[in-house]
Amino acid sequence: MAHESSYVPGNVVEKWIDDRLPIIRWSKEHLMDYPTPKNLNYWWTFGAILAFMLGVQIVTGVILAMHYTPHVSLAFDSVEHIRRDVNGGRIIQAVHATGASMFFAAVYIHMFRGLYFGSYKAPREILWILGVLLFVLMVTTAFMGYVLPWGQMSFWAATVITNILGAIPVLGTPILELLRGGFAVDNATLNRFFSLHYLLPFIIAAVVALHIWALHVPGNSNPIGVEVKSSRETVPFHPYYTMKDLFAIIVFCIPFAWFVFFAPDILGHPDNYIMANSQVTPAHIVPEWYFLPFYAILRAIDFNILFIDSRLGGVIFFAGAILVLFFVPWLDTSKVRSGTFRPVFKWFYWLFVANFVMLAYLGAAAADGTVLGLPVATFSKLCTAYYFFYFLIVLPLLGRFETPRPLPTSITESVLAKHKAPAAAQPAAASTSH
């Protein structure tokens, strides 16, 4: 979506700057004039919400680091110190801790929006891959951050998750000891996790810049998935979408504020208010809610697969569940971008969403319990199977066998159809032009 810059320096100072570092020109082009499809719905506001959340986490995190002590004998108390003694620390700590949950809620909606509307399809593959990379970085950062309060859940999460790397054949143990800086999770581990937890958000910010760059080259996709055909189908980012995004951020902040002010601990686990003890594992350990689906997949593999033992198998599926996302642009063979026009896809998609929620539920259930009359172990295997079935079988085959509904020829046509004659469906010529 290349376009001529409309920026004209307003005065001699702006002119002077523009000749040396055209940062005002660049900002006007990318933050204000950037042409955006006029039919974006509220699912498209989550990118801005995520940028906002990254800012919130960095600001509150830098402040928390001023009061936190990364040492096994002091870390737990220093977090309590922040909550009880530091001026406003109760709120700042709660914003950071529940902020992680809100951040993940937003990123999951953002990703599921991409999966439904086919936002990963050409020419936006790199945009999608950078997004998956951001998700991986977020998961890593959140995991390390969760270790820092040094409660029982922190310690055992660190033990279990670092042990995942121990499953790698031959190199597993050396890598594990290198990562932990000892034979078990201990002070060395806590210190390096603190260091990396501080570093990674800035790496995330850098990848976000690339993500937005990759967005601004082809421009936004949109709910009907038909590319923008003329400048009449776009509006400038500012004020149209800056205001819409701002409104969405404010709405998003309502539940966020509720958690912070009224239930800062509701998403946490009571065991994390017991200081870490390397001699006792809590009776029932569960990760934070945003890791539960992947945790259920890890736990579902409790059998050997040929020469691969169950532990390595679990790790392969766990990693595979995230890595498969990198390949979605090529796994989905359908030429139609938006799920709105794919009648069969919709069924598989919503089943996939329900399946993902079910995996989260199973991840929280006791390993030997039952859910809906089925043993958790069996149910988890079924849900894990569907997770991979969707990406590896449904997406590649559906593109060949499904007959999509006719596409509108343009964004304008679809917008007018919606507003002028909602009853009259548009039997416009089927277009597969993109």
Partner 1 sequence: MATQSNLAHQDAPKPGRRDFLYIAAGAVGAVGVAGVTWPLINQLNPDASVLALASIEFDLSNIQEGESVTIKWRGLPVFVRHRTAAEIAEAKAVPMSELKDPATDEQRTKPGHEQWLIMIANCTHLGCIPVGQSGDYDGWACPCHGSQFDTAGRIRKGPAPTNLVLPPYEFVTDTLVQIG
Nearer to partner 1 among residue 245 and residue 271 (C-beta): 271
Instruction: Report if residue 216 touches partner 1, rule: CB under 8 A.
Output: no
Instruction: Report if residue 304 touches partner 1, rule: CB under 8 A.
Output: yes
Nearer to partner 1 among residue 41 and residue 278 (C-beta): 278
Nearer to partner 1 among residue 80 and residue 309 (C-beta): 309
Instruction: Report if residue 324 touches partner 1, rule: CB under 8 A.
Output: no
Pairing of strands 35-37, 370-371: unpaired
**Tokens at residue 359, please?**
């995996």
Give the residue, chosen from 159, 221, 338, 384, that forms a contact with partner 1 under the rule CB under 8 A: 159
Give the Cα separation of 194 and 426 in Å (integer). 56
Which among 380, 406, 373, 228 is positioned nearest to 292, based on CA atoms? 380
Instruction: Report if residue 377 touches partner 1, rule: CB under 8 A.
Output: yes
Name the segment binding partner 1 (CB under 8 A); options: 93-101, 103-111, 296-304, 324-332: 296-304
Give the residue, chosen from 302, 357, 378, 397, that forms a contact with partner 1 under the rule CB under 8 A: 302
Nearer to partner 1 among residue 284 and residue 434 (C-beta): 284
Give the residue, chosen from 69, 242, 281, 409, that forms a contact with partner 1 under the rule CB under 8 A: 281
Instruction: Report if residue 408 touches partner 1, rule: CB under 8 A.
Output: no
Residues in a beta bridge with 36: 235
CB of 207 to partner 1, least distance (A): 23
Give the residue, chosen from 205, 243, 367, 425, that forms a contact with partner 1 under the rule CB under 8 A: 367
Total length of the chain: 434
Instruction: Report if residue 418 touches partner 1, rule: CB under 8 A.
Output: no
Give the Cα separation of 304 and 311 in Å (integer). 8
CB of 245 to partner 1, least distance (A): 41
Residues in a beta bridge with 374: 371
Give the residue, chosen from 8, 65, 171, 178, that forms a contact with partner 1 under the rule CB under 8 A: 178
SS3 sequence of the chain: CCCCCCCCCCCHHHHHHHHHCCHHHHHHHHHHCCEEECCCCHHHHHHHHHHHHHHHHHHHHHHHHCCCCCCCCCHHHHHHHHHHCCCCHHHHHHHHHHHHHHHHHHHHHHHHHHHHHCCCCCCCHHHHHHHHHHHHHHHHHHHHHHHCCCEHHHHHHHHHHHHHHHCCCCCHHHHHHHHHCCCCCCHHHHHHHHHHHHHHHHHHHHHHHHHHHHHHCCCCCCCCCCCCCCHHHEEEHHHHHHHHHHHHHHHHHHHHHHHHHHCCCCCCCHHHHCECCCCCCCCCCCCCHHHHHHHHHHHHCCCCECCECHHHHHHHHHHHHHHHHHCHHHHCCCCCCCHHHCHHHHHHHHHHHHHHHHHHHHHHCCCCCEECCEEHHHHHHHHHHHHHHHHHHHHHHHHHHCCCCCCCCCHHHHHHHHHHCCCCCCCCCCCCCC
Instruction: Report if residue 75 touches partner 1, rule: CB under 8 A.
Output: no
Give the residue, chosen from 9, 172, 218, 282, that forms a contact with partner 1 under the rule CB under 8 A: 282
Name the segment binding partner 1 (CB under 8 A); options: 58-66, 155-163, 249-257, 267-275: 155-163
CB of 319 to partner 1, least distance (A): 14
Name the segment binding partner 1 (CB under 8 A); options: 249-257, 280-288, 327-335, 425-433: 280-288
Instruction: Report if residue 287 touches partner 1, rule: CB under 8 A.
Output: no
Nearer to partner 1 among residue 299 and residue 342 (C-beta): 299
Nearer to partner 1 among residue 162 and residue 355 (C-beta): 162
Give the residue, chosen from 6, 27, 231, 278, that forms a contact with partner 1 under the rule CB under 8 A: 278
Q: Which of residues 182-211 bind partner 1 (CB under 8 A)?
A: 182-184, 186, 188, 192
**Within a 10 A sphere around the Cβ of 302, how many other Cβ atoms?**
13
Give the residue, chosen from 312, 325, 359, 365, that forms a contact with partner 1 under the rule CB under 8 A: 312
Give the Cα separation of 99 and 84 in Å (integer). 19
Give the Cα separation of 340 and 228 in Å (integer). 17
CB of 275 to partner 1, least distance (A): 16
Nearer to partner 1 among residue 48 and residue 158 (C-beta): 158
**Tokens at residue 368, please?**
């030997």
Name the segment binding partner 1 (CB under 8 A); options: 73-81, 236-244, 310-318, 320-328: 310-318
Give the residue, chosen from 3, 284, 346, 418, that forms a contact with partner 1 under the rule CB under 8 A: 284
Binding stretches for partner 1 (CB under 8 A): 156, 159-164, 166, 177-184, 186, 188, 192, 278-285, 299, 301-302, 304, 309-312, 314, 367-368, 377
